[in-house]
Amino acid sequence: MWQFVQVKPSVVKLNRCAGLSCDFRHDQCFPVEDYITLKTYTVFAFKGGERECVQVSVKEHGVCKCKCDRECPDYQVLDLWACKCVCDGKMRQLCNARYDDGEPVMWSEDVCSCECNSVPDCDHGMLWDNRTCR
């Protein structure tokens, strides 16, 4: 079995999707299609110090696409321009409407949900309901 000690050239040029060439500020470049090519390199092997030319399979990218590669949890939506997850504005509006109707709630941007202003201790045998704040 060959043990490779040195490969020449030590750096090769490959077609890869990378860099900051996307139009949108936070998009990244991803491969849509890739292919395998065979390249021949000179290899110095540790089997008697022999030098041999071998073919190596390398993966190259054929077609690239700019996109925001992020998935958001159910309670958030994707802001494509900023490429980040943000709170759903509809849920915020519903919470603000509940507040306007006199319910003791407020919107929490940290957890993207409508939270009760306070959670008092319940009497024995009673359970607190976060949806109704009672």
Dihedral angle over CA of 81, 85, 89, 94, nearest 10: 170
Q: Where are the domains of the chain?
A: 4-67, 88-134
Cβ 30 vs Cβ 17: under 8 Å: yes
pLDDT of residue 110: 87
Burial of 81 by CB count in 10 Å (0-12 exposed, 13-18 middle, 19+ buried)? Answer: exposed
Q: Report how far residue 71's alpha carbon sits from residue 56's, in angstroms, rounded to the nearest whole number.
A: 36
Q: Report how far residue 52's alpha carbon sits from residue 63's, in angstroms, rounded to the nearest whole number.
A: 33
> Does 4-67 carry CATH code 2.10.90.10?
yes
Residue 78: count of CB within 10 angstroms of its CB: 14
| Assessment of whether the complete model's pTM goes beyond 0.75 | no
pLDDT tens-digit map of 70-108: 888 888 888 888 888 999 888 899 999 999 998 889 999
- Averaged pLDDT of the chain: 81
